[in-house]
Amino acid sequence: MTGMGGSLSSQNTVVTQHFERLLFEQLLIALILVAAAGAIGALWFRRAQQDNLTEVAEPSGRRLLRIGFGIIWIIDGLLQLQVQMPIGMPTQVVAPTAASAPGWLASLVTSGVDAWLRHPITAAVATVWIQVGIGCWLLIARRGRWSQAAGVAAAAWGLGVWIFGNSLGGLFMAPISWMTGAPGAVAFYVVAGVLIALPDRVVASKSTMTWVTRAMGALILYFGILQAWPGRGFWSGGTASSPGAIPAMAQNMGSVSQPGFAASIQHWFASTTLSYSWLYNAVVVVVLLGVGAAYLSRRPQFLRPASWVYLAACVINWVLVQDFGVFGGMGTDLNSMIPWGLCALGIAKLSIAADEAVEVPEVTLDMAASERARLRQVGSLAALFVFAFGAIPMLLLPILPGATADAAVASGAQVTPLAGPAPSFTLMNQNNQTVSLASLKGRAVVLGFLDPVCTNDCPVEAHEFEAAAAALPASTIFIAVDVNPLYLSTASLRTFIANEGLSSFKNFDYVTGTIPELNKVWSKYGVDVQIAANGSMVAHTEPVYVIGPNGNLAATWAVQTGANASNPVGQSSTSILISQVKAAS
Amino acid sequence: MKTALSLAALGVGAALSLSACAQTSSMNAMPSMNLALGPSLNAGIVDGTTSEVVVPMGHLNDPFNTFYETFTSNNGSTWSLSTPKGSSTNGGIVIASPAHGASAIRSFDNSHVSALTPLSMGTQVLSGGVIIPAIAQSPSALSVQGGASYWVTKQGSVEMSTSLSATPITLATAASLNHAPGGAACGVATINSVAINASGELAVGVRCSRGGTSAIVTRATTASSWNVAKLPSMAADATMRLDATATGFIALVRTGGAAPSLRAVAIHGNDATVSPSVGLMYGLLRASVPDGHGGYEVLIATSKGCSVVDLAPGQSATSIGVALPANAQSIARTSIHGADVLEVVEVSGGKASFAVLGTKGAWRAIQSIKVAIPYGSAA
């Protein structure tokens, strides 16, 4: 190592390529499922086309929730297409939320993370289908049982995400704040899903909506009080060198790679709130307390304006503080503001409708409307197929055996079998001879990544290679790829070999090339390289690959380093090398 | 990774912050040097006619890119590079008994990858298999006598083994030492150094929980019980180094308080004799070597430059030489033409240069060794 430890990069090419390939393959299957749904629907159409359907008009509040959250679920599903999701989702999004959670919750979340990491590609692809499926289902199924079932699916998946993916919305990550996303966007997905799933008579019931509206009011009021509470860091803008909570958040968000206009907004807001944090917080507090009180009162004359004011406040905070939800890091959803604003508005509309006891009669649809309704039912069936296509493997995830190849060394915990052709390369070895991976077919190859000026664990790893070579057939080739862009010469490689006493290691090729050539190899094999500021030893990830005589990847693991690292499988790397090469040969 | 690296860099970086003798920044920024409470890494050692010295090289202000090399000189011959091949040397190298080639590699950042890190213990050299993790992570202490090796583990216990394949025997822990006479009064908190002398007497340096002091605990050859040597009342708060002598032990201890200083302590049985002190208020102990007559020569870096001071019990503290090489990093002792000679090791441009004290107190370079790790223009 040179320091980056063994955890797999979320950009690891082996994983991202598997992810893209599986997505493409499953897309074809999903299209077949949609076509099958269409065929089933067409058969059903033929039998039922003479009948005119009846339908009860959809309350505007429910329609708002259904369409609004349908779109949001689709956006979330599309965000799951990011190639870093298989590894990044559990390690960069989920795990940090559990870090400050109580033990019982952390262990619950960790079990989910572990299950995901055993099959990260399967899980990431399944998530795409689940969320896209729910979104389409909500949008297509307007009324009736199909629509209610979509609400159930949304609430159920949302609840799972809120617990396992969100650690209950990060409620234990102090300081929780309305501004930053508490109590978690997905909590409102669940609320919306439940309201969509409930029968019309329940949603139209005054007592139900009184309860729901007041709960929403209490929640908003609670977060208003939290926001107003002194000493939580939101009133003070601090100084440029030690910014307060609001400008610090904006600075953090603005520092992430994102479109220029979004970064500009964040930079402006960060500098403004250095002086005017108190003003922004005061406005937020007044809005939250006022809106909360209006929802608690449940009076339509207060609810109507309060719900729109609240939506506007949410949109403003979404832009200024939450950086549109998706720009401040690896975006997995729009963050809390849009879902919460929509949810509050939908509840207000349903509450007012229940209060006014508007009777919505059932009407018989004409032929054209009936056909459209049937088309929607067929579309709902297709969306259900897509949803189930993701949900079934996701449900099976905890009991699927072993770790699949896609897991690679996702958790850094074990040697992972791989399949498929090893990415090719042609580089120059320490003796200025060309080494091509393709030319080594028929021989087992061990591939590592070493820095020629490394005085940390690269020498150790090289000696592990040498020790393993002594116990393996002479045909086994050990290749180390140079990972230091500052030391690319073959002379540097020879110096390393001489310094570390490796001159007698005959079947060892330490290879180098131009930076573009090496970049390609690093990228293909998922090696991250960070150049030290003062130039010298670099930091890099340290995967080791075993390539079989057939030219296919056979296994990989990450060299573990760092204070908390432990040997990957409880044995020396030498013995791992020996056993894996024998297994691959 | 970044967190672990940052923490390691912070800790080691602070300890190495005085990488050059002359500092442009104020030394007041580092008054206590608590990070240097362990035994000095840049140690010189003499074992019969064999001398060995550990020298830091690379980017000395960047712990991630600082590596350590050992150099050996036999019978007063020239120095040669003797760092074990295939080592992970960023964490430092602990040497003991160069005549036996005993050394242990301290892993940087407590890395566990070191399945093959070479380790010499007594007359045996480990060149394969799984390293004993406790040794790889030991604070620094290793001592060899006869065929047996003694070391302090990261967890702070003293262990002994006569064979690399044998399960080490635990000789002492902080808890067990608290049951020794005087141990409870000290309240042994940690053990950080160990030495065994030719007669088989064992000594360990401990840090006490009571009063922030340190103590030397000894065990006679045949005895199974430990005694706390009576250190004079000087508020020693750390044992920087512990070595065996023909008649007992010597320790280099740091005294704390408002005006930290260094003293050498000679231990014979339960008695101890203390040298005069040299102030550490604005300086840092960079290296040390036994002076051959019961004390230590210490290399101290201050804001005004480096100095070498001889600290011997019963004698006055003596400054040795003037105008030390600008980047002196370690000191060693050799025997040249039968005469015992002190040498200073300067590190610059990838070279370790050895200098001896010439006439008029000036240091004269006698040998340079280029270390072939291409760290650019770094030391």
**pLDDT tens digits for range A478-519:** 999 999 888 889 999 998 998 888 999 989 999 999 999 999
> First CA to last CA across chain A, in angstroms?
27
Which residue in the set A457, A486, A539 is minimally distant from B88, CB to CB?
A457
Interchain contact B130–A (C-beta under 8 A): yes
Look at residue A579 and tell me whether its pLDDT is greater than 80.
yes
Percent of chain B with pLDDT over 90: 6
Among the listed residues A564, A538, A576, A555, the one whose alpha carbon sits nearest the alpha carbon of residue A461: A576
Do residues A143 and A275 share a domain?
Answer: no
Q: Which residue has the higher pLDDT, A217 or B337?
A: A217
Cβ pair B129:A532 closer than 8 A: no
Mean pLDDT of A194-202: 93
Q: What is the pLDDT of residue A173?
A: 67
Look at residue A278 and tell me whether its pLDDT is greater than 80.
yes
Under DSSP, the state recorded for B361 is G
- The position carrying tokens 């790679």 is A257
Distance from CA of A458 to the nearest CA of B (A): 8
Query: Which residues, including other chains, have CB under 8 Å from residue A282's CB and lie 6 or more apart?
Result: none
Is B288 within 8 Å of B300 (Cβ atoms)?
Answer: no
**Please, which pLDDT band fits residue A20 given cuts at 50, 70 and 90?**
confident
Q: How many inter-chain contacts (A to B, CB under 8 Å) are there?
A: 120
Give the CATH number, domain containing residue A491.
Answer: 3.40.30.10
Within a domain: A9: no
B277, two tokens: 């002190």
Do residues A379 and A340 share a domain?
Answer: no
Query: What residues of chain A have any CB closer than 8 angstroms to a CB in chain B?
Result: 1, 3-5, 7, 452-453, 455-457, 459-464, 467, 486-487, 492, 495, 498-502, 532, 534-537, 539, 559-567, 571-574
Within a domain: B31: no
Q: What is the pLDDT of residue B41?
A: 63
**β-bridge partners, A546:** A446, A555
How many domains does chain B fold into?
A: 1
Element (H, E) at A570: none
Contacts A453 to B, Cβ<8 Å: 373-375
A239 exposure class (CB count in 10 Å sphere: 0-12, 13-18, 19+):
exposed
Within a domain: B9: no
Do residues A346 and A369 share a domain?
Answer: no
Within a domain: A339: yes
Q: State pTM to two decimals.
A: 0.57
**Please, which pLDDT band fits residue A31 given cuts at 50, 70 and 90?**
very high
Distance from CA of A524 to the nearest CA of B (A): 22
Within a domain: B283: yes
Cβ pair B86:A463 closer than 8 A: yes
Q: What is the pLDDT of residue A559?
A: 67
Cβ pair A534:B115 closer than 8 A: no
Look at residue A584 and tell me whether its pLDDT is greater than 80.
yes
SS3 A425: coil
Cβ pair B112:A539 closer than 8 A: no
Mean pLDDT of B23-35: 26
Cβ pair A459:B1 closer than 8 A: no
How many domains does chain A fold into?
A: 3
Contacts A463 to B, Cβ<8 Å: 85-86, 116
Cβ pair B86:A7 closer than 8 A: no
Expressed as residue numbers, the domain containing B264 is 38-370
Mean pLDDT of A461-471: 85
C-alpha span between A558 and A113 (Å, rounded): 19
Within a domain: B377: no
Cβ pair A536:B62 closer than 8 A: yes
Within a domain: A142: yes
Integer Rg of chain A from CA: 29
Look at residue B185 and tell me whether its pLDDT is greater than 60.
yes
Within a domain: A7: no
Do residues A239 and A383 share a domain?
Answer: no
C-alpha span between A473 and A442 (Å, rounded): 12
Contacts A467 to B, Cβ<8 Å: 116, 128
Distance from CA of B89 to the nearest CA of A (A): 6
Within a domain: B27: no
Which residue in the set B7, B113, B130 is minimally distant from A560, CB to CB?
B113
Do residues A20 and A162 share a domain?
Answer: yes
Strands (E), B314-362: 318-320, 328-336, 339-348, 351-357
Cβ pair B58:A562 closer than 8 A: no
Sheet of strand B339-348, all strands in order from the earlier edge strand to the far edge: B328-336, B339-348, B351-357, B363-370
Element (H, E) at B94: strand B93-96
* ipTM here: 0.73
Within a domain: A437: yes
Contacts of residues A169-175 at CB distance under 8 Å and 24 or more positions apart, as own/partner, are A170/A97, A172/A100, A172/A101, A172/A102, A172/A105, A173/A97, A173/A99, A173/A100, A173/A101, A174/A100, A175/A232, A175/A233, A175/A245
Residue of A nearest to B91 (CA): A456
Do residues A164 and A236 share a domain?
Answer: no
**pLDDT tens digits for range B101-112:** 666 666 555 444
> Which of B6, B55, B68, B116 to probe the A interface (max A CBs under 10 A)?
B116
Interchain contact B374–A (C-beta under 8 A): yes
Distance from CA of A513 to the nearest CA of B (A): 18
C-alpha span between A295 and A283 (Å, rounded): 18
List the alpha helices (DSSP H) in A5-102: 13-48, 60-79, 85-88, 95-98
B48, two tokens: 């019969």
SS3 B217: strand
Look at residue A392 and tell me whether its pLDDT is greater than 70.
yes
Residue of B nearest to A569 (CA): B113
Expressed as residue numbers, the domain containing A351 is 204-364
Q: Which residue has the higher pLDDT, B37 or A250?
A: A250
Query: What average pLDDT is seen over chain A?
Result: 84
Cβ pair B113:A492 closer than 8 A: no
Which residue in the set B109, B110, B373 is minimally distant from A453, CB to CB?
B373
Do residues A118 and A242 share a domain?
Answer: no
Phi first, then psi, for residue B84 (nearest 5°) are: -60, 135
Integer Rg of chain B from CA: 19
Do residues A434 and A390 share a domain?
Answer: no
Residue B296, CA distances (Å) to A303, B230, B245, B342 in order: 83, 20, 12, 11
Within a domain: A228: yes
List the alpha helices (DSSP H) in A357-503: 367-396, 458-470, 490-499
Interchain contact B117–A (C-beta under 8 A): yes
**Please, which pLDDT band fits residue B215 given cuts at 50, 70 and 90?**
confident
Contacts B59 to A, Cβ<8 Å: 534, 536
C-alpha span between A224 and A82 (Å, rounded): 35
Q: What is the pLDDT of residue B232?
A: 65
Look at residue B189 and tell me whether its pLDDT is greater than 70.
yes
Q: Which residue has the higher pLDDT, B52 or A456?
A: B52
Do residues A375 and A288 share a domain?
Answer: no
Within a domain: B253: yes
Contacts B60 to A, Cβ<8 Å: none
Under DSSP, the state recorded for B28 is G
Do residues A130 and A256 share a domain?
Answer: no
Q: Which amino acid is at A356?
A: E
Look at residue B133 and tell me whether its pLDDT is greater than 70.
no
Give the CATH number, domain containing residue B74.
Answer: 2.130.10
SS3 B147: coil
**pLDDT tens digits for range A409-455:** 433 445 777 777 899 999 999 999 999 999 999 999 999 999 888 88
C-alpha span between A178 and A473 (Å, rounded): 63
Do residues A123 and A155 share a domain?
Answer: yes
Percent of chain A with pLDDT over 90: 44
Within a domain: B144: yes
Within a domain: A411: no
Cβ pair B116:A5 closer than 8 A: no
**pLDDT tens digits for range B74-84:** 877 789 888 87
Which residue in the set A5, A534, A573 is minimally distant from B115, CB to CB?
A573
Which residue in the set B1, B88, B128 is minimally distant from A467, CB to CB?
B128
C-alpha span between B331 and A96 (Å, rounded): 48
Do residues A259 and A351 share a domain?
Answer: yes
Contacts B128 to A, Cβ<8 Å: 467, 574
CB-side exposure of A474: number of CA atoms within 13 Å?
1
A174, two tokens: 């102090």
**Please, which pLDDT band fits residue B130 given cuts at 50, 70 and 90?**
very low
Is A83 within 8 Å of A20 (Cβ atoms)?
Answer: yes
C-alpha span between A9 and A330 (Å, rounded): 14
CB-side exposure of A79: number of CA atoms within 13 Å?
20
Cis peptide before A175 (omega within 30 of 0): yes
Which residue in the set B88, B111, B115 is minimally distant from A459, CB to CB?
B88
